[in-house]
A and B are shown apart, each in its own frame.
Chain A
């Protein structure tokens, strides 16, 4: 499917409406697979370009739990799958397991 000018927000000349909605993404890492468990890590990415969140920029999480983010209007769109450990790798530790992606849509024209 070919993206339309309205989808992409590309300038197409006078009188054509342009998309000004941009996505803000919040990633919360929680203490367990439950969405209402406590936040242990967080990242934010701002598609409006209005802010530049980066590594090591805060010591306090934006929300104490995933549920708190929902209450503030963030929309959950992805949660990490629960996968059993591979046989022989039950004690391996690696990436944070309980990753939840949220979005907010922001109209940059307003």
Chain B
């Protein structure tokens, strides 16, 4: 695969947004001409890909998907998030039928993932306009660093500040593998289509994006945002964990806008004073 042009890579502020929210949305990035073909292509099915196939080889049998992942903005985002030549973990076409009557429970994909310096991303492509009634994907901003297992979050129906996706045709959303999400109930008369691909990185995910704005104040602003569903105390831990992830993907462990990580990792070397300089010891001797 060719290296994306610098102008199509994500910026540091966009990457910080992804680290904070666990998602990156690109509205109407796929041309109409492709969206027009997409439903037929997805209905026909996308040929299966063995786990771990390099992206450049994975879709040899699907010209449509090759065009999708090679769109300059899409290729730039993939490169920025997971680097050159990621492998395809799996892909799937999701169809939520008109008036289907059921919503997916809130879940994270796969088992608990405890990696602190690496992540997979899922590309989700919506070929048609998605309205609220069509029950677009539900996702919970800032949930991706929570250590929960698959559908154990199924009890949670609604969280304050959740994203009930509505979007124009041709929208692509990238999600961190850990984000809590689910397909909402389709209450409309239109079948809803979504195509997803999960990518595994094959290189260390360090400064893979356009880092010209690495020290822009907006980076810290993104990383420090909180979400309405966060509990007071745990919300602060979220920011702590986010800063740790940002340090990992920038290779800069001095970045700490609110000093939280530095403060709790500060371990000064204590020097014990001589006995003659210890006022308590001196007092004892006088008795």
Seen from chain A, the residues whose Cβ lies within 8 Å of a Cβ on chain B are: 27, 29-32, 37, 39-44, 53-59, 61, 91-98
Contact = CB atoms under 8 A, between A and B. Distances in A.
Nearest to B102: A54
B224 interface: no
Q: 8 tightest CB-CB pairs across the interface, nearest first?
A: A56-B138, A43-B157, A41-B159, A56-B184, A55-B103, A54-B103, A40-B229, A94-B147
Given A55-B106, A55-B138, A93-B238, A40 B159 contact: yes
B36 interface: no
Nearest to A55: B103
Contacts of A43: 155-158
Contact of A56 (B103, B152, B229, B232): B103
Given A54-B185, A56-B158, A56-B164, 4 more contacts: A31-B230, A55-B106, A55-B138, A55-B182
Interface residues of B, number: 36
B146 interface: yes
B146 A57 contact: no
Contact of A94 (B103, B146, B164): B146
Given A43-B156, A93-B238, A57 B103 contact: yes
B240 A42 contact: no
Contact of A59 (B102, B158, B232, B237): B158
A61 B184 contact: no
Given A93-B145, A93-B241, A40 B231 contact: yes
B158 A95 contact: no
B241 A41 contact: no
Nearest to A62: B158
A29 B237 contact: no
Nearest to B146: A93
A61 B160 contact: yes
A39 B161 CA distance: 12
Interface of B: 102-106, 135, 138, 145-148, 152-160, 162, 164, 182, 184-185, 228-234, 237-238, 240-241
Contacts of B229: 29, 40-41, 96
A57 B157 contact: yes
Contacts of A29: 156, 159, 229, 231
Given A91-B240, A93-B147, A95-B148, A53 B232 contact: no
Nearest to B145: A93
A73 to B, nearest CB: 21
28 contacts: A27-B155, A30-B231, A40-B230, A41-B156, A42-B158, A43-B155, A43-B158, A54-B185, A55-B156, A55-B158, A56-B157, A56-B184, A56-B185, A57-B103, A57-B184, A57-B185, A59-B158, A59-B160, A61-B158, A91-B237, A91-B240, A91-B241, A92-B147, A92-B237, A94-B147, A96-B229, A96-B231, A98-B231
A31 B159 CA distance: 12
A92 B145 CA distance: 9
Contacts of A92: 147, 237
Contact of B153 (A39, A58, A91, A95): A95
B138 A97 contact: no
A59 B234 contact: no
